[in-house]
Structure 1
Amino acid sequence: MATLHTVLLVDDEATIRDGLKHMIRWEQAGFRLLGEAANGQEALTKIKELQPNIVITDLKMPQIDGIQLTTIIQQQYPEVHFLVLSSYDDFHYVSQSFKNGALDYLLKPTLTPASLLATLDKISSKITHQQGSVSEQAPIQEALNRYLAGYEEDLDTLDAYFTRPHDTHNYCLLYTNLSYFHANQQLFHALKEFTESDRSLQALPFRTSNHDAGLLIGFPENHDFLVQLRGCIAKLTYTESEAFFSLSTPFHTIDQLRPVFLRLKEKSRGQHFFYKRQRLVLETELFPYIASERFDTKKFLRALLDNNFLLGITRIEEYFNEMILSNVDPVFLKQQAGSIFYTLLSRLEEEFPNEATFSRIKNTFLREVATVRYLEDFSDLLLTTIEEIRQQLTPLSPLDEDDLLVAIQRFIQDNYTKSLSLSELADTFHFSYTYLSAFLSAKLKMSFSDYLKNIRLDKAKELLVQSDFNLSEISEAVGYSDISYFSRIFKKEFQMTPSKYRRMNQL
């Protein structure tokens, strides 16, 4: 006995529903009425419960109207077919319902048993054809699933499914992971829609026990199917906003399939993190992960133990600024952030036990960094958390900037004869290069290099007048190993050579 296709009737007028129920002999015609609903909200409950093949729905209804209902059906139940009931003045609604996937419409004023039955038969034929195609594909698709999962399979059957001539035969693999999706049926509906969008393509969906999914696509030489593929994925993202796909480079023989699959799966791991607004990424666009820069834990902990929390925060900023610009594995990046911020905030809790804010910041950050999905949001989370910590910390632990400046100036005075650099100064005082450069520029009203130059040249003038050292010895004594360079900057600063300065100022 042939399988009966099941039907749900949806209309807010009971007389219309009753009229439809008695208009044809449903089961003799090959259909079974599962039930009825008086509005879109009730219909959704019935669809979820009864899983009908066909929904016949009115367009104008209270609560959820027919347009909203067909939109939700297409998004959440893509295997359900529907036709709409309309009046003469419902053209806009009918047009919108067709955009949502309605297969046909029936005018209520001219509805007859013959027109209803003809429309249902057309939908029934489409369902039967689709079920037949699925049935034909099932063993081949299962072979593909097993092969990609690592089992040995006869590839001849799989290759024979793609019937393109050998000289125009190419493959691509579209890959995704089911963890990105709320409802798998919407994914496979989108893949099916893409397959049917271009008759020159052949495609076979796959789904492994490891949550891998996608399409094996066969296409003619020089055929560009990216426009259609991007369009189907764009529609999918209306309901599956986290959907992410990668597309392999083309390959030419089916025995390359498993290596391509394993390579693409590995290269795609975590890549959605870098693509917040791009849902389909070509294999050539995927970022190769690089070894991460090592965090200088010793300097970081030393700053925290010295209660120099602002320096500790600066070291965190410098590290993650570098990491964010690099192609670092997102899992490692988030683990590092969690560990480093946990250490900082735990130390702040210990130092300021009466400040409950640090505990709140720590708990919030650890929760959010574990679930953040994109690099852009990760960066924003770090910036806002650091800013909040600074705002809480500044009144609790003010930095004695005057004492710091005196100490730095004393150190420069004691070491100007050496090859002194700002990097060495930053390491000595446990500050970041960036912070110390800005600090000295603000306090000294000049850069570190100009300040050091002034100290050295002032000492050089003193030695030129008060000592018998020759120019080479004086140059060496004030930190310049190259006498030519020393003479050049001396003349630039004082508009005369060191020798002339000595002659003019000696008694």
Structure 2
Amino acid sequence: MWNLLIVEDESIVRLGLRYMVDWETLGVYWKAEASNGEEALRMLDTEPIHIVMTDIRMPGMDGLDFAKQVKMKYPDVQIIFLSSYDNFAYAKEAIRLGAIDYLHKPTMDEREVAGAIGKAVALLADTPAQQPTLTGDERNLYLLSLLDKYTIPGNPSLAELETEEFQQGYWLTAFRKRDDAVQAGEDSGHLKFLSVLYLIEEYVSKDWGGVVFHRDFREVVWIAPAAAKAGGIGHSERGKYLERLRLKIFELLNAPLIYSSSSLYGGLEQLPDAYMEVLLQLPVHEQSDNLIVRKSKAFVDNHLLEDITLAKVAAEIHVSPGYLSRVFLKEIGENFSDYLIRNKLEYAQKLLRDTNKKVYEISAEIGYTNPHYFSKLFKERMGLTPLEYRNR
């Protein structure tokens, strides 16, 4: 779609134009409206605009002065003039400024408007450097539409996916945060996801390339060319590359991810098949929770008020403490001891809020025989002493 800006001081004229023709069938998106030249110039500085339809006579800056400035700053923008006056001098000046058409408002009809837009679209399509520009959100939505056989366009096209690097095909990977990882608040979780998205994009752009986008701020999708930019990274190395990326994200952002990747595909019309292959391979239910971790978490939940240690849990599920510690950190993204303390202190907060029990009673109830140690630990983790937390 090519973005259209209407510059017209009469709101009734703008309204009439909007519904005079079916813009989308002409390949045009009604992007913005302005009531004068100054406002329109500000819009051009912030919005990707390809076609401008502007009145010649407006208060303040008139259409001719406005067009001169547009052509100086944005020479590829196509301009169509509107006028209530059938004045040859205006038309002559409009043509000199590079306008592609001059429409007489009192007599113009749907056919004339469509014809003028057709000229603009044809000129834009013939300009190699000028392609329809999408905002970040529009680009993301378009890329998502390519992943579903019910929404993919009839002739899918995106310049980023039609470069030389994609001539040998592509493969697709989806990354998701583990459902059972430490949960953050809504705002911080959103920011954490964006950090993961940007890090993946930066990491892959250096040595592999491709396109990175997201689904609802829950999943990162990477469409990668068949061959990496850097030498020595071939088909058999993809798994190792993805694992290095996963570990890098965990190391820098403490964000445990799971991922799945597809085999090699060719045309863009096969993107839904590639994405479906990825979804079928993604771990389901508790997202590949290791059986050992599931058992250890269940034991902690059932014995939270007792004096639990890593060694006790390891003995209960018949593994070594060292192995349990490594697996727990890998699967959950949190040390076993931190997981245990976090759950105990969350329970202590509930008791402080909902009961009148003394601090030493709560300490003993959750398995800490030394109330001073409990108070110190509580303040280190929560920033308040137990009494301060209760009385705030």
Bin the TM-score by the shorter chain. 0.3 to 0.5
TM-score computed with the length of structure 1 as normaliser: 0.29
Q: Which has the larger radius of gyration?
A: 1
TM-score computed with the length of structure 2 as normaliser: 0.35
Larger helix proportion, structure 1 or 2?
1
